[in-house]
Amino acid sequence: MVSEVMLQQTPVARVEPVWFEWMSRWPSPSDLAQASKAEVVTAWGRLGYPRRALRLHGAAVQIVADHEGKVPQDLDDLLSLPGIGDYTARAIRTFAFGIPEPVVDTNVRRVVARAHKGNGEAGPPRVRSDREELWGILSAEDADTQVQGAKAIMELGATICTARTPRCEECPLAPACAWRAAGYPEYVGAKAPTQARFEGSDRQVRGIILRELRHSDTPVPEDFLASLWPDRQQFQRALDSLVSDGLAIRQSEGITLPR
């Protein structure tokens, strides 16, 4: 559950060291539930989208309150936890508990698009349709094979059937790949939306503010924080959004992390 939340829009290489440190510090939901919000945001470090840290903390508190400190297996129970959406809930059920679910991420969509539909790219996400396509591929198998198949397709997309340089000569699906059989036609369909650039964005300003707050045991004067970014209006917008998200608190002495 922790790894799935950390991996949302964040590469594995950045997540791995933080995950190991996090799990060493808080190996169970009850351990995390007892931590302060400030500790949680600080431990999140520079993973980005720090609201995820507060949602994990909130989920741990709810797991302790409603599920005796154990991550639930039921889909609806998982979906009721803060920060746990449809993909994450199904991934937890499949990868943690061995319960077959159509777990669809970018890598899975790319493999299905190429191998089964003959398209070089998957195009914009279509949540229900994407799930149905994957389930159509796996549903005829027994439960264990469905779980292993979901893992295998995801791993294949991450390591072999990559977006820019697919290693088709190493791919076990190459003999049956529709895209390869068609001669790798150029994709001409709708494009998936691209992520906004980080440099100069409000996300970058939020990260700068949080970095200062994490490294201070006392409230940081707002004027000092404002001096770290040249655009005062953008700084104010970023700070206001942190306060609104519960990631920062205004006090008479300055700005601090939530306690």
Q: Which residues are catalytic?
A: 4
Both tokens assigned to 160: 């072999």
Find, among 25, 36, 34, 94, the residue nearest to 63 by Cα: 34
Give the 3-state secondary structure of residue 43: helix
d(C-alpha 213, C-alpha 87), whole Å: 32
Q: What is the DSSP letter of 217?
A: S
CB-based contacts of 50, cutoff 8 Å, min separation 6:
41, 44, 206, 210, 247
Q: What is the DSSP letter of 95?
A: I
Give the 3-state secondary structure of residue 63: helix
Give the 3-state secondary structure of residue 51: helix
CB-based contacts of 105, cutoff 8 Å, min separation 6:
87, 154, 157
